Amino acid sequence: MTHSHFPRDPAAIHALAATFPEPDPTPRFATPFRVLAAHDIAYVAMVLGRPLYPRYRRHSLYHPFAEYAGWVTNAPQRFAGRRRTAGEKARLAAEPGSYFLYPLQLATDFQLRAHSPFADAREAVRAVVRSFSESGSARRLAVVTHPLDEGLIDWRRLVRDETGSARPTVLDGGTPDELLAGAAGVVTVNSTIGLTALRLGIPVKNLGSAIYDVPGLTHPCDLAGFWHEPRPPDPELAAAFLRALIGATQIRGGYHTRAAQDAALPVFAERLERASYLSPRETMLSCGGTSGGG
């Protein structure tokens, strides 16, 4: 993000990648659902202790109880429409190159508010769909909600109110691999799905200050041009970037199980005791010195 020291210069990225072996993507650890559920319940229980910490501020836009209420209220509708939504995604994926994707983050995602020109996810959606509608592109745009969306924002209505029509399409439940693989391009605001798209060679337009917003990786300059001539990433640079990023910033392990902790902690200690791989980043390398929303 904005304050990362990871290099944005392609030459520096290639040099850093050369110091690491090829990454192994094989999963090694899994966290049982019961553990994740227990942590989530503990988070909700912490709300009851708010009087003890009057200065505490939540990162999210909504009270946790409101988020849970949104999930519970909208669960029947999501469940009832899952087959229809899967069919819509399959039909879209069957026409690769004919559509753009805008996978949404959660409305409460703090990094979107802290590291982009947008006040919140709604403002970002308005900017993207307005830009697409004004572009006259012959392709389609699919706005895909986050699989854990709380249901507190009516994204379909927001898109319809902004464009005056049912175009672009809004799809629930996240972005399956086959839908992502067939996209003509992906628009995002710092989402990690941008990394997956770059690995697949899909053009990416980032509207924030993502660590992967590097010349030669993401589409340069304005969003308006992206709808007509989306520029794909340099495959060699993309491979080097992922190799450098994984080698310099990622550690095998996890927080929630003893096996994962035992694997991660010694590497954490080693990283802290030696010099960092990363040097301070000098500039935000973006078109014209800024990143815009449309």
Question: What are the structural domain ranges in the chain?
Answer: 10-21+69-289
The three-point CA angle 102-105-108 to 5° equals: 145
Look at residue 166 and tell me whether its pLDDT is greater than 70: no
pLDDT in tens, 103-136: 999 888 888 888 899 988 999 999 999 999 999 9
Most trustworthy range by pLDDT among 5-9, 61-65, 125-129 = 125-129
| Contact call for residues 229 and 135 (beta carbons, < 8 A) | no
pLDDT in tens, 196-244: 999 999 999 999 999 999 999 999 989 999 999 999 999 999 999 999 9
Nearest to 189 by CA among 99, 238, 98, 117: 117
Q: What percentage of the chain reaches a pLDDT higher than 90? A: 54
| Contact call for residues 173 and 182 (beta carbons, < 8 A) | no
| Contact call for residues 274 and 294 (beta carbons, < 8 A) | no
pLDDT of residue 2: 67
The DSSP call for residue 110 is H
| Contact call for residues 205 and 186 (beta carbons, < 8 A) | yes
Look at residue 93 and tell me whether its pLDDT is greater than 70: yes
| Contact call for residues 204 and 233 (beta carbons, < 8 A) | yes
Residue type, 99: Y
Buried b / exposed e along 199-232 (16+ C-beta atoms within 10 A):
ebebbbbbbbbbbbbbeebbbbeebeebbeebbb
Q: What is the C-alpha separation between 271 and 266, in angstroms, rounded?
A: 9
> How large is the average pLDDT for residues 258-266?
92
- Rounded to 10 degrees, the C-alpha dihedral 60/62/68/72 comes to -120
Q: What is the C-alpha separation between 27 and 204, in angstroms, rounded?
A: 26
pLDDT of residue 286: 37
> How large is the average pLDDT for residues 56-81?
83
pLDDT of residue 13: 96
Q: Provide the whole-model pTM.
A: 0.85
Fold of 10-21+69-289: Rossmann fold (3.40.50)
